[in-house]
Structure 1
Amino acid sequence: MFFRRAREDRAFREAQRAGFALLLRLQATQPWPDFSQQTAPAPAAGEAVAPDFLPPDLRVPSGQEVAGVMMRWLQPLVIDGDVRTCPECGAYRDWIVFCLRDDSVWLRCRAGHETKEPGLGAAWFNRHSGPVDRFHPTLEEGLRHLGH
């Protein structure tokens, strides 16, 4: 079975090479017609030209303009089989999970204690977070929006 497949693959590659060689010979012998580039007509004198970009109220901030994204995680957070608890107060649920610009993930408990979580990364955050529904100018406004 293996040898039959190898023969079929070899025959296919040889047919591809022969077709490519024929195409090169045709291009060398056949003069191709000279197609002129068609351009869009210029706007009339009274017509206004619309810009190609969105108005400012519809634009999304770029990655350099956003310090990070956050989401709420109500259930206990289990990483590698262990339930994460706050090192200061012992809380184990109702987290705010931050993913910062440097792809680090931080946890914030209800009491406001923050800790970096080395077991999580930006890939985990992107798999578990939903779409961004709002941008906030300050951390406090974002936390208020998420109920903290």
Structure 2
Amino acid sequence: MSCLKLGEQLQRLREAKNMSREELAQQMNVSRQAVYKWENDKGYPDIQNLLKLSEIYETTIDELIKSDSTFQDKINIDGDKKKDADEEMLHPGFYIGIGIIFLGIFLGLIFGNLIISTALNIVGTLIICFYKDILKLFRDVIKDFNQQ
């Protein structure tokens, strides 16, 4: 089974246990269609379902997935997305926005003007939330300007 895709391996293991897709689906608390998708490489089980499958088929997760390079690539891509999400908080817009918020608080305290403080706090919050969108907007405007 070392060269099988995950779906083929899942189907062979199920058939070796003399189980129907319906029986497996009931045991896994998923739909019969989910089992069909897994076995035909139209989708992949999540980690909890992989754990259940490894218990049912009395094998390890490693044995299930190590021969399917497509599935391994998907896992790596999902890991990269998580890494990007972790770094999302550390983009320059976060620090710029925090700086503007503190500047607003500082100027509000110095001048006793609540309007300046509120306005800068709103601008800082918007920069934190929409930094990448603001950069894209500026790049598009500059690109359009240079094309004219």
Shorter-chain TM range is under 0.3
Q: Decide which structure has greater strand share.
A: 1
Higher relative contact order, chain-length normalized (CA < 8 Å, sep 6+): 2
**TM-score for both structures, normalised by structure 1:** 0.26
Q: Decide which structure has greater helix share.
A: 2
The higher radius of gyration belongs to 1
